[in-house]
Amino acid sequence: MGRRRRKKESFAQKRLREEMEAGAALSTPLCPVCDDCGGCSWQRVPYSRQLEWKAQLIEESARDHQLELPEPCVVEPSPLTFQYRNHMEFSFAAKRWLTTAEIASGRDLERGFALGLHAPGGFGRVLDLEGCPLQSSRADEAFLVVKQFAATSGLPAWDARTHEGFWRYLILKRGHNTGELLVHVVTSRSERDLLSRLAEDVFARVEGVMGVTNGVTERVADTSEGAVVETIAGRSFIHERLGGLTVEVGPMSFFQPNTLAAERIVQIVKEFASSVPADRVIDLFCGSGLLGLSLAAEARTVTGVEVVREALDAAERNARLNGAQNVRFIQADLLRGWPSDLPQAADLVVCDPPRAGFHPKALRALIAMAPEAILHVGCNPKTQARDLATLMREGGYRPIRNAAVDQFPNTPHVENIVLLVKESGS
């Protein structure tokens, strides 16, 4: 019988273990299930120490790829360390996952209906929650209203093993600077009359709700993506104000999850872009268009590229909302290839890829385009360093500015912004 390979310890796990073994003073977690949830695995670590660790992660990732950053890495703190998220996704489950404390108690516990977040280690492990300290108190109120309604609706929550059940996901989006709230419920089929009653309940009991929407999906995979969206009551989006822009955010469109930290990221992007030619701008993985729109006032043209149709529609509305007539958007999956209708030349390419980073084909196409400068906004230092090393080695680029912002307090994630310019003659 073959020996099972032990899973390699992650940077986050290693740092937390070392801190605990050293007997360092740890913080008391605000969340009662933080040790079981895994979403905020660094809640016990003092915030100043978290920022140091994140800087180390960026520096270590750079060294792993023989990449030298031009400036010392100092991670700017998030203005809020709790209640900072403007977007949360929760899962329904027919059978809840017990916490470590509950298992240790030896008591016979009810394991029915659950709405909450996933415990690490496998699919279907949903911890039953009463809210989450990462989101606003108003979002917690909406969470409880939906949970109570669903639990007493007579329809079952989704069972990840049998692939049966009605209630699947709850997505809450709230504008930090506007107070607007969107409630999006994903189900396995349409039940408009039932969801209309839910919407009435939500509007009556929660202040600031702008809309209740329903996404219907028959997919058995553990994902809320791909659902057909219908507006049940109100409107299908919220507004948020950020960096001098007013943006529209729908139930499935990407938007930076920490509004206050994102404002600082936009400031850095504009500052870095002002130091290089930026007449023709391309914004890759543009989501709802935030970064590209923030540069539109100083550019002649901005072209955004995004795969999610709903996000692209929101980006186009955001351009109209902010009077940006020099901005256009293209739908394309950059993880599969390079769109043929993308401009063949650009002064500046801004990119904010997913955690997996660039697909090799897309990265090679970017190198072939040879823009004068590339502004990389990365949420994963490891894949960012890998992609930057390729741009330097194969494209002749050199990093000249870098800055890091903590968008995800109490987690090992961090946002790193790097500006690269093309070396003359390369």
Which residues are the active-site residues? 379
Q: What is residue 386's three-state secondary structure?
A: helix
Identify whether the C-beta of residue 284 lies closer than 8 Å to the C-beta of residue 306: no
Query: Would strands 301-306 and 280-284 be described as parallel, antiparallel, or unpaired?
Result: parallel
- State how far the Cα of 74 lies from the Cα of 90, in Å rounded to an integer: 33
Taking the CA atoms of 240, 245, 250 and 251 in sequence, report the sign of the dihedral they define.
negative
The residues that bridge with 377 in the sheet, in sequence order, are 417
Identify whether the C-beta of residue 292 lies closer than 8 Å to the C-beta of residue 312: no
Q: What is the 3-state secondary structure (H, E, C) of 45-57?
A: CCHHHHHHHHHHH
- State how far the Cα of 59 lies from the Cα of 293, in Å rounded to an integer: 30
Query: Which 8-state DSSP code applies to residue 297?
Result: G
- Indicate the length of the chain as a whole number: 426
Query: Which 8-state DSSP code applies to residue 399?
Result: E
Q: What is the 3-state secondary structure (H, E, C) of 199-248?
A: HHHHHHHCCCEEEEEEEECCCCCCCCCCCEEEEEEECCCEEEEECCEEEE
Query: Would strands 348-351 and 415-422 be described as parallel, antiparallel, or unpaired?
Result: unpaired
For 83, counting Cβ atoms within 10 Å of its Cβ (0-12 exposed, 13-18 middle, 19+ buried), the class is middle
Q: Cα dist. 228→231, 252, 382, 389 in Å? A: 10, 10, 34, 39
CB-facing half-sphere around the CA of 352: CA atoms within 13 A: 22
- State how far the Cα of 415 lies from the Cα of 102, in Å rounded to an integer: 36
Residue 293, both tokens? 């729109």
Q: What is the 3-state secondary structure (H, E, C) of 251-274?
A: CCCCCCCEHHHHHHHHHHHHHHHC
